[in-house]
Structure 1
Amino acid sequence: MQSHARGHLVYAASGVLAVHTERGTSIVPANRVAWTPAGFTHYHRAHGDTDMRIVFLAPSIARLIPEHPAVFLASGLAREVLLALTGPRNHDPAAPDYSRSARSRLLRVLVDELREAHEQPLHLPEPRDDRLQAIARMLHERPADNATLAELGKTIGASTRTLSRLFRNELGMTFYEWRTQLRIYHALVLLADGHDTTQTAYACGWANPSSFIAAFTNIVGTTPGRYRTSRRTTARASQLPTVLKSPD
């Protein structure tokens, strides 16, 4: 666990990242950008062959993007700026470094691109209530569990009405919406580890691959098959090493 005086962007050039904060987990598949504001305690976890890039933002420019953790789709321009800001020019003594003014201009372009992008529904909020936490632990351990909310409530000693109210008031979504988000997170991890669409669908609790494909496409914006193909393509196109820029 760590926190920084500056907010930072984490980019998955390939692979899948998870950014964990006290607010929940941001799921960051390839070509997404996760934003963690200054002061948020967090940790990162990589799944599969992941190329992670980090860019810190000064408060003067960070104020232009949300004050809460968020995930954005990286446009083609945003992707190239992120790769440029974390490429060889930043660590290879033989390569000419960007001037301060050039780097500032690139950062402004990057932030402008993110401001134009819609937040992705890839943030899984973390429950605070003990009863919701118990349900979350069970479903993280067994994402394929198709128990109803009533059945889960019997296990932990809470009524369906109480749990439904807690999900809406605390997490801003229904139980079924939250469980779908959780399953998509696990699906992204399995796809990153090389599992195919059918294996992933059943492992994450879908009755058949077609219903999984529909849910995955609705949240991630592309089919699991195309997503796996884009991961391989992006990984081949991005061969630069990871660079962690100091926030201080």
Structure 2
Amino acid sequence: MKSQEISLNGQISPIRDAVAALSDSAPQIMAFGTFFAQGHDTGEHQHDRAQFVHAERGLLQVWAEGGQWSVPPGMAVWVPARVQHRVRAISDADFVSLYIRAPYRDEPEIPVPSRCGVVTVPPLLKQLIVHLKELSAGQDGDRQNRVAAVIADELKELVSADLHLAIPSDRRAARVALAMIEDPSDGRDLAAWGHEVGASGRTLTRHFVAETGVSFSEWRRRCRLFAALEMLSAGRSITAIAFDAGYRSPSAFSAAFNKFFGISPRIYRAASDHRL
């Protein structure tokens, strides 16, 4: 099937319909690609097959129970079968998803995780995924199967990338988290937030640690850095991003970004632009 554009409101989805129509006898791994304009949101949905959402160009976010996952170019997020999720395009984005069913006898066992997670996509795997998408538009089933077999082997060797921002399950802590996502520059501590949401700072501290796995200060650091990814994709200046993401100076922002991602924001943007 060829790449197809999905409507901005997420209601018309040729790819979703095509995946839903796949029979049990369809190949174990299928590839479909599309273009999302900036701001596109698929709305919540699920698939009977596991999905491997690969960002070929642009920045995507995947939301599911438990939080959000950022998917910059060169990375992908696993979405297990029958998990409710939605995909947002933070910038204009081309992406290719693999849709993977459970193996039959003599088919490879693909290590689909039980929870969503981001992984790096090596250049070879990226090219194979794009090639499988192109082959899916033709009739050469044997060649598709050979490429899919190599992809299955490559999927066993992927390295996880920690681009998950968990949302606490406690409604008061969740209000704080969602407000911080909306405005990462908000510098209030949990005691101040507690006055707004009706909980003590100590209670909120406990919920963040227990329900996200990290302290509030670490959670806020990740929130700000993931927001910076969005702003970099939107073409904002480093100075504007630094202050809008809650940093005291561009140098403090650049140091934090470099420490977390292993690359400066300027080099990251240049590398992302090169992929366009």
Normalised-by-shorter TM-score class:
0.7 to 0.9
Q: TM-score, normalised by structure 1?
A: 0.85
Alignment of 1:161-176 (within 5 A): 161-176=202-217
Structure-2 change in CA distance of 1:157 and 1:230 (3 Å):
same
Aligned residues: 229
Counterpart in the other structure of 1:84: 131
Alignment of 1:137-216 (within 5 A): 137-216=178-257
Counterpart in the other structure of 2:96: 53
Counterpart in the other structure of 2:52: 9
- The 8 Å contact of residues 122 and 219 in structure 1, kept in 2 or not, is answered as no
Please state if 1:36 is matched with 2:79. yes
Question: SS at 2:53's partner residue?
Answer: strand
Q: CA deviation at 1:129?
A: 0.5
Tell me which of the two structures has the higher relative contact order, counting C-alpha pairs closer than 8 angstroms and 6 or more residues apart: 1
Please state if 1:119 is matched with 2:160. yes
Q: Give CA deviations for 1:173-221 in whole Å, capped at 9, x if unaligned.
A: 1111111221122111111111122211111101112222222233333
Whole-Å separation in 1 of the counterparts to 2:55 and 2:272:
10
What is the percentage of aligned positions where both structures have the same residue? 32
- The 8 Å contact of residues 65 and 111 in structure 1, kept in 2 or not, is answered as no
Alignment of 1:93-132 (within 5 A): 97-100=139-142, 102-132=143-173
Q: TM-score, normalised by structure 2?
A: 0.77
Whole-Å separation in 2 of the counterparts to 1:176 and 1:109:
42
Counterpart in the other structure of 2:14: none
Counterpart in the other structure of 2:24: none
Q: Which amino acid aligns with 1:71?
A: V
Higher helix proportion, which one?
1
Whole-Å separation in 2 of the counterparts to 1:25 and 1:62:
27
Q: After the TM superposition, which parts of structure 1 deviate over 6 Å for at least 4 consecutive aligned residues?
A: none
Counterpart in the other structure of 1:69: 116
Alignment of 1:199-238 (within 5 A): 199-235=240-276
